Amino acid sequence: MNRRTFIESSIAAAAFTSLPFRTPADEHRVYPIGLELYTVRDLMKTDVPGTLSKVAAIGYKEVEFAGYFDRSPKDLRAMLDKDGLTAPSCHVSYDVLQNHWQEAIDAGHVMGHKYIICPWIDDEQRKSSDGYKRAAELFNKAGEISRKQGIEFAYHNHFWEFLPSPQLNGQLPYDFLLANTEAANVKMELDLCWITVAGKDPLAYFKKYPDRFALVHVKDLSKLPKLDPSKNSQGMIHEVAATFTPIGGGVIQWKKLLPAAQKVGVKHFFVENDEPKDAIPNITASYEYLYKLRF
């Protein structure tokens, strides 16, 4: 099940915090360390409270939801509070953005979300002549609505946003979205792995757009793959995900990327592995690396 389908099914089954305190010492390390719960979705499907407790016991302080796993926002918030976790953000599908946005905002207030993020534009829409234009218009509209209610909207990338698009006359979709959305309404959750996979430099984007990045995804891989744009996007994700490692076990230079993210105002760092073979050992190793990392 891909991310879009997973989020849609999870959100449909459910009813539709302030920034963390930081000290000067925190500026030289990753704090707080968060987890994208898509990484442990299989465990969450069978045991939501138990999985959240395991995540908290590892040391994670923040989580990012991708679906609510058949639980109400009220019940989930109680579980988070019990384990000393906060959920500053969640992922919702494009369909929710179009058709259930106010419900998502209302749920976000209960959960304590400060950001609601769309992580996927369908292949067919991306291939249509005005697909990205429609996405930019929807993002601007949704972002304005949520911002006025105290929650910001953001977009999360994969690799294809950094490949030239024939529908945009060779322009990169990510550049198009940045240029055609308002900074006040649309922030970005930059996936530092996927942009690297696509051969682009996150530091260049931080420098050019210092006001657009609010959150990042942190994941690592053993080698940089050769992308095949002709492949179905989910198939390409699956192929690349086979090379994902715990954070620090791969080729991405975290000592450069993470402090650069902090300098442009990123406060939320979410560990993610799209397809971990054994989720708990994987996220434990990632946490331990980031907890010890200093720059």
Domain housing 193: 3-14+28-292
Residue 15 has pLDDT above 50, yes or no: no
Report which of 165, 175, 180 is spatially closest to residue 208, judged by C-alpha positions.
Answer: 175
Beta bridge partners of 53: none
pLDDT in tens, 145-203: 999 999 999 999 999 999 999 999 999 999 999 999 999 999 999 999 999 999 999 99
The pLDDT value recorded for residue 229 is 82
pTM higher than 0.85: yes
Cis ω for the linkage preceding 229 (within 30 of 0): no
Average pLDDT over residues 30-34: 96
**Inside any domain, residue 21:** no
State the CATH number of the domain containing residue 199.
Answer: 3.20.20.150
Q: Per-residue confidence at 3, pLDDT binned at 50, 70, 90? A: low
* Residue 23 domain-assigned (yes or no): no
Query: Which residues are registered as beta bridge partners of 145?
Result: none
* pLDDT beyond 80 at 5: no
Strand segments, DSSP code E, in 37-185 are 62-66, 86-91, 115-118, 152-156
pLDDT at 26: 63
Average pLDDT for 55-61: 98
Q: Look at the chain and report how many structural domains it folds into.
A: 1
Confidence of residue 20 (pLDDT cuts 50, 70, 90): very low
Is 19 within a domain? no
Degrees to nearest 5, angle at CA 57 with 51 and 62: 75
Q: Which residues pair with 213 in a beta bridge?
A: 188
